[in-house]
Chains A and B, each alone.
Chain A
Amino acid sequence: MTDTAAMKITTPTDRELVMTRVFEAPRGMVFDALTKPDLLQRWLLGPPGWTMPVCDIDLRVGGKYRYVWQNADGRRMGMGGMFQEIVRPSRLVATEVYEDYWTGGETLVTTELAETRGKTTLSTTVRYASREARDAAIKMGATKGLEASYHQLDELLKA
């Protein structure tokens, strides 16, 4: 089984979304890849065709960060927030708010890194600040293609 297949998304409560993935590297290294701009700019890119020309990180409690993505047409999308907890290399808590309309509010993102035999389990919990924010995020995501196969249903039920 590949690590990609091991990625899991679950919805433990109606305000949270948890994403888990195992990486073949010690957690200090993963923590760096999550917090150092020159590394982050290489992988945190979202849909195909987007780059991250702006990546400012002030890695201290109360410090701010801001990312800006850009696509081939020059469309820009910004996101940022403030660090609330930094425990290298095991834990990171930060607020997150998109500058565009489409995710509709601030979320609290808790990142946890656990290491076993040189492998790191990265778990990211996104907690929506309010029901409205959650609704907005979901509404935006759900507007396209309502037909899902039973295969997708199985996937969700397995989660």
Chain B
Amino acid sequence: MKPSGYALDATFAALADPTRRAILARLADGEATVTELAAPFDMSQPAISKHLKVLERAGLITRGREAQRRPRKLEPRPLAEATDWIERYRKIWEANYKRLDAVLEELKGRQKKAVEALIEDTRPRPRKRKSK
């Protein structure tokens, strides 16, 4: 088996393309033949086959044994590795950004107060008479 870093590298490269993501989304619902996969796209079968080859090399899909149809099937494991990494990253950053929201709310509050104080300062006030 390939070291997982390289496998994941291929996974991310394969996922960078919207057509390939759409193919994977379709295969998440169940296996499908090349003809079935090509149907929703405005693409030739050879063009779809090229995408399938990239997905296959990344280990994201495999071919069924059935000689005639050779249906493509989703392989969940490499995607699981990629999603797991992204999910961990996402969780950490969501927590960071929630705290940043709170910091920004406070800064906005401070700014509002400062503006109000400024308005208060510049408002004309009844002047005290100068004592002689």
Contact = CB atoms under 8 A, between A and B. Distances in A.
A1 interface: no
B88 interface: yes
B36 interface: no
Contacts of B1: none
B84 A138 contact: no
B24 interface: yes
A24 B83 CA distance: 28
Interface residues of A, number: 46
A33 interface: yes
30 contacts: A3-B101, A7-B93, A7-B94, A9-B89, A19-B93, A24-B101, A25-B108, A29-B108, A30-B104, A32-B107, A39-B103, A43-B97, A43-B99, A43-B103, A44-B100, A45-B96, A134-B9, A138-B8, A138-B12, A142-B4, A142-B84, A144-B84, A144-B88, A148-B79, A148-B84, A148-B87, A152-B83, A153-B76, A153-B79, A156-B15
Interface of B: 3-6, 8-9, 12-13, 15-16, 21, 24-25, 28, 76-77, 79-90, 92-105, 107-108, 111
